[in-house]
Structure 1
């Protein structure tokens, strides 16, 4: 086992740690870790990411459920269209991406480059979402007075499901703002509910890959186990660490990673 592989396994713990602390964002690290440190093909990496993130998030969701921080009604309304979209995307859309997507002069954009650059664009969106100062307390005073916009929640579920299917990220950076703004959930409840939604749609999406890929279960289960250790530590640390400051710091790190991926893949 070389140094990069050891760093990859250590990264699995970091993925869980970040998920436990801020309810999202950790999944955005999984694909780069699997591709650049473990050395997996990007299509395989996005599939493995769905399993790792799905199982890890389910542990985090259960821990939040015990604290009363999961809104099941909202989770179901968001999850049903999301997991249908992610399953169909993984089962049919991703296998349809050609080996050579397009060419510009002598430069050919392969499916691997396309997925990684698209993933980096999603990371840029995630970093902006995490760096911006959202007024998370606004929903506390209006929670009982405003009707929940469930049709829009379901519609965003479809959009997040498609993105999740393509890049293998949980989409917490999109889900949490939707739950706060559209469902008027308190921030801590939005984090717990987000983890449940991420768990459901990621694992359903992974089922769409089983027929298309040969899964290395030994590696996948070890990587996932390390990520579970991370999320257990992260949920515990969330009692002592300011989630807002951590989220902004992680946002800048995600921004750096996105720029690095675009540079590495295109230049």
Structure 2
């Protein structure tokens, strides 16, 4: 019990401090410490992350660190993706969901370890003003594509997406780090709600357990939100990234066996149309992101 309380508080601290990351620990804690099934852990994680993010975003909004226009734009696409991800999870066995979760964790760890400083963040810090935190002109199509993709991951494996949202908001929408963290929390609230709607017909929630974890996570988020204005998250993310990399690798090693591989093969055979449709959607998104990258590279070169 004491271990669960400590871990729930840590989840909240990381969520409030980094705008994400803490939520990536929720599913492993619920699966390996509380012994929930993968699907029940994902649903409980969405509830905990959603409630915790609501409290954290209020504190960030008080300091003017939430860009509502960007949040609604990103969040609208994210809600659609989260709902679809929640519906899709009903057709995927629990062990495969855990393997997908481990892959997401490992991918997230590389994002955290990269930890580069965006030019937009430097520009805002040099002006030393809170009035220019939120950009007026947004790359709407790129934000919609990224929002949908991040939302789908959230709905499918119960990860809040903050580790993907913060870099996207920083580099894509041009938000400084503190505004990216606050806006990320707002988007996570929208995505968690939509994902739960997608899970509505196949979810089971232990109210007492969820209330316990959510309560201490909210307490931790208040601590993290207060500390976020005093601590540079760029120095915390690389260390946390190493931890996430190790934990994701452990889950991948623990859950991958011949039975799980056979489940993947049978799933692919049974839902070939869905699989090809999903792969086509991902290919289109990747092609569009490549197009944006090449055009931005050309634009930077001309200037």
User: How large is the RMSD of aligned CA atoms in angstroms?
Assistant: 1.9
Query: Unaligned regions of 5+ residues in structure 1, if any?
Result: 98-110
Unmatched segments (≥5 aa) in structure 2: 125-131, 258-303
Give the deviation of 1:150 after TM superposition. 1.4
Higher helix share: 2
Q: Could you tell me which residue of structure 1 aligns to residue 193 of structure 2? A: 203
Question: How high is the TM-score relative to the length of structure 1?
Answer: 0.88
Change (3 A) 1:93 1:189: same
Deviation sequence 1:187-237 (CA, Å, 0-9, x none): 110110000001111122113323322322121112101100010111122
Q: Does 1:81 align with 2:71?
A: no
Query: Which structure's CA Rg is the greater one?
Result: 2
> Is the partner of 1:211 in helix, strand or coil?
helix
1:95 matched residue in structure 2: 90
Corresponding residue for residue 208 of structure 2:
218
Aligned residues: 249
Question: What is the CA-CA distance between 1:22 and the residue it aligns to?
Answer: 1.0
State the Cα distance separating 1:33 from its structure 2 match.
0.3
Alignment TM-score, normalising by the size of structure 2: 0.78
1:173 aligns with 2:163: yes
Q: Tell me which residue corresponds to 2:51.
A: 55
Q: Deviations over 1:44-87 (max 9, x none)?
A: 11111111111101111110000000000000001111112212
- Residue 157 of structure 1 corresponds to 147
- Would the aligned equivalents of 2:135 and 2:175 in 1 still touch at CA under 8 Å? no
Change (3 A) 1:79 1:146: closer
After TM superposition, give the deviation of residue 38 of structure 1 in Å: 0.5
Aligned position for 1:194: 184
Query: Which residue does the alignment assign to 1:246?
Result: 236
- Maintained 8 Å contact 2:10/2:217: yes
After superposing on structure 2, the runs of 4+ consecutive aligned residues of structure 1 that deviate more than 6 Å are 142-146
Q: Superposed, which structure 2 residues align to 1:110-121 within 5 Å?
A: 111-121=93-103
Distance 1:153 1:10 in 2: 36
| Counterparts of 1:149 and 1:238, CA distance in 2 | 27
